[in-house]
């Protein structure tokens, strides 16, 4: 009986150790996971990216990238951030866990826009002077395809559900539709004058295109690839973003320092929000319903509460902030 008592005690100790090791193994990833609700803002003149903690609205890091960073894309699945460096013809890859540049990828001449498909981990870069889109494999950081599109492509939107990519061609007044499986243009859609930005609501499969030349937004039905409505907005609309959770669309109006809020159900502007000087790029956190607006003219980011449509914070960043990406 004493022998069995000793063995029981030993088994008990081993069992406790195994359970503790198992628990520590399960908990370990939380210590290494990147912080959610992090906002990345490109600063054109500084050649940097400001990193903002979305909980405190403070800049917590500044990352050096290439020359004239004018576009940004994020992959919330891999915690990777992709920054287009217009003057270098490159893309800087930032690890969101460490906020370090881990790779620099050469692309074609004058890269102007970038978007990520988080489902396929493919990155699409529009090059305005080449009239092409480079496709980067996010696993290898290699360019795997180059796709001819329209004249002067400057914006990209992606529907990760359908794997369709939408490229706005500013000088052609069109949108090229790319099938992400074949990397072929399957349709070209006429829109308004000088389209400059595009985003997709994957829930409704609606595509929103900002037309800088006529102060409107074209709404495209992704099922038919037809423009179903044209919405007047403010002066010199620069960029568009979509919150798929609320079905609200936000448009920065560079010419009158405002953001137009469009209800995606009715396609009407329901509010106009004053922000900083010359607002350009935006980012949205659909989880917190916060919108981040880069004010190019006064080196700040306006934080809008999507529930009240009011500016709740103004954050100083670098010199000439232009584009915004959000990890959530």
The pLDDT tens digits for 147-187 are 999 999 999 999 999 999 999 999 999 999 999 999 999 99
pLDDT > 70: what percent of the chain? 89
The pLDDT tens digits for 33-70 are 456 899 999 999 999 999 999 999 999 999 999 999 99
Per-residue confidence at 214, pLDDT binned at 50, 70, 90?
A: very high
Residue 3 vs residue 191, higher pLDDT: 191
pLDDT > 90: what percent of the chain? 89
SS3 of the chain: CHHHHHHHHHHHHHHHHHHHHHHHHHHHHHHHCCCCCEEEEEECCCCEEEEEECCCCEEEEEEECCCCEEEEEEECCCCEEEEEECCCCEEEEEECCCCEEEEEEECCCCEEEEEEECCCCEEEEEECCCCEEEEEECCCCEEEEEEECCCCEEEEEEECCCCEEEEEECCCCEEEEEECCCCEEEEEEECCCCEEEEEEECCCCEEEEEECCCCEEEEEECCCCEEEEEEECCCCEEEEEEECCCCEEEEEECCCCEEEEEECCCCEEEEEEECCCCEEEEEEECCCCEEEEEECCCCEEEEEECCCCEEEEEEECCCCEEEEEEEC
Output the pLDDT for position 35: 65
Mean pLDDT of the chain: 91
Residue 31 has pLDDT above 80, yes or no: no
Asked if CATH classification 2.40.110.10 holds for the domain at 33-327, the reply, yes or no, is no
The pLDDT tens digits for 233-266 are 999 999 999 999 999 999 999 999 999 999 999 9
Q: What is the pTM of this model?
A: 0.90
Residue 24 has pLDDT above 70, yes or no: no
Output the pLDDT for position 19: 36
Q: What is the mean pLDDT of residues 68-96?
A: 97
Output the pLDDT for position 87: 97
Output the pLDDT for position 154: 98
Residue 27 has pLDDT above 70, yes or no: no
Output the pLDDT for position 36: 82
The pLDDT tens digits for 282-327 are 999 999 999 999 999 999 999 999 999 999 999 999 999 999 999 9
Residue 17 has pLDDT above 90, yes or no: no
Per-residue confidence at 21, pLDDT binned at 50, 70, 90?
A: very low
Pick the range with the lowest mean pLDDT from 2-6, 80-84, 139-143. 2-6
Output the pLDDT for position 224: 98
């Amino acid at each position: 009986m004493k022998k069995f008592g000793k063995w029981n005690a030993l088994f008990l100790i081993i069992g406790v150790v195994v359970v503790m090791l198992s628990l520590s193994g399960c908990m370990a990833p939380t210590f290494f996971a990147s912080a959610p609700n992090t906002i990345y803002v490109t600063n054109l003149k500084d050649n940097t990216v400001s990193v903002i903690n979305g909980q405190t609205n403070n800049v917590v890091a500044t990352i050096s990238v290439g020359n004239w960073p004018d576009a940004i894309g994020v992959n919330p699945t891999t915690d990777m951030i992709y920054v287009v460096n217009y003057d270098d013809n490159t893309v800087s890859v930032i690890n969101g866990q460490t906020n370090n540049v881990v790779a620099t990828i050469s692309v074609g001449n004058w890269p102007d826009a970038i978007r990520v498909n988080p489902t396929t981990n493919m990155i699409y870069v529009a090059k305005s002077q080449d009239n092409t889109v480079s496709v980067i494999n996010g696993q290898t950081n290699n360019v795997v395809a180059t796709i001819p599109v329209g004249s002067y492509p400057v914006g990209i939107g992606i529907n990760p559900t359908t794997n369709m990519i939408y490229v706005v061609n500013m000088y052609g007044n069109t949108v090229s539709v790319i099938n992400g499986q074949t990397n072929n243009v399957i349709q070209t859609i006429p829109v308004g004058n000088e389209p400059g930005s595009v985003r997709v609501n994957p829930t409704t499969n609606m595509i929103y295109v900002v037309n800088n030349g006529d102060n409107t937004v074209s709404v495209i039905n992704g099922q038919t690839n037809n423009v179903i409505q044209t919405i007047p907005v403010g002066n010199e609309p620069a960029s568009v973003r979509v919150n798929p959770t609320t079905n609200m669309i936000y448009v920065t109006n560079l010419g009158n320092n405002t953001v137009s809020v469009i209800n995606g159900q009715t396609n009407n502007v329901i509010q106009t929000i004053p922000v900083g000087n010359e607002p350009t790029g935006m980012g949205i956190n659909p989880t917190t319903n916060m919108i981040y607006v880069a004010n190019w003219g006064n080196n700040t980011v306006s934080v809008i509460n999507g529930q009240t449509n009011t500016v709740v914070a103004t954050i100083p960043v670098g010199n000439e902030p232009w584009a915004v990406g959000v990890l959530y």
